[in-house]
Amino acid sequence: MINSSFKKLFKTQIDTFFGSDSLSLPCKLVSADNKHTECSNCQIDPMSGRSSGRYKVGGPFSFPYGQLCPICNGIGYIHSIHETSTRMLVIYDYKKWINFNQNLNSADGMLQTISKIEDNSKIQSANTLIVDSSGTYNYQNEYVKDSDPQPVGFGSNDYVYTFWKLK
């Protein structure tokens, strides 16, 4: 039976996981806007819509004519990318996942994270997770969001869990 002392135990236990010497990992949440923002550093070729290779006066990085614009790499527009770092419990073993419907999904290449409720909005707006961002970059650490974060905590909603799929 889920009574209040059980709830408290659950919360205490998960809080312990988030402690300093714990099972949680430093992770990076990345949200890339789908909107294209025209590059402010170069003149756009009206025919191709791409960078003309000419510096636009007032832009942050002057560059010689004919070279790739260092801001947009010659593409002519940029995605706005937001990154934020936080600690998450990262669970690779699907047998330990919370609320996983084993009939519906394949667990291949997937993981579940448990995060504090304070991180909910960060996860909502992110589409990519980089696990253990303390190490060197490794494409095997990059996951895309497979489900929206769901609250968990037996009524107290202290945490959210989220599924991610290997990119």
Strand, helix or coil for residue 137 = coil
| Cβ proximity to Zn ion, 72 vs 89, nearer residue | 72
DSSP 33-85: EEEEEE-SSEEEPTTTSSEEEEEPTT-SS---TTSPPTTTTTSSEEEEEEEEE
Closest to Zn ion by CB, 69 vs 130, is 69
Report the residue number, 56 or 165, with the smaller CB distance to Zn ion.
Answer: 56
Q: Is 78 in the site for Zn ion (CB under 5 A)?
A: no
Asked if 126 is part of the footprint of Zn ion (rule: CB under 5 A), the reply reads no
Q: Which residue number, 42 or 130, has a Cβ lying nearer to Zn ion?
A: 42
Q: What are phi and psi of 33, to 5 degrees?
A: -65, 140
**Taking a C-beta distance cutoff of 8 angstroms, is the pair 7, 154 a contact?**
yes
39 binds Zn ion (CB under 5 A): yes
Interface of this chain with Zn ion, residues 42 to 71, rule: CB under 5 A: 42, 51, 69, 71
Q: Which residue ranges make up the site for Zn ion (CB under 5 A)?
A: 39, 41-42, 51, 69, 71-72
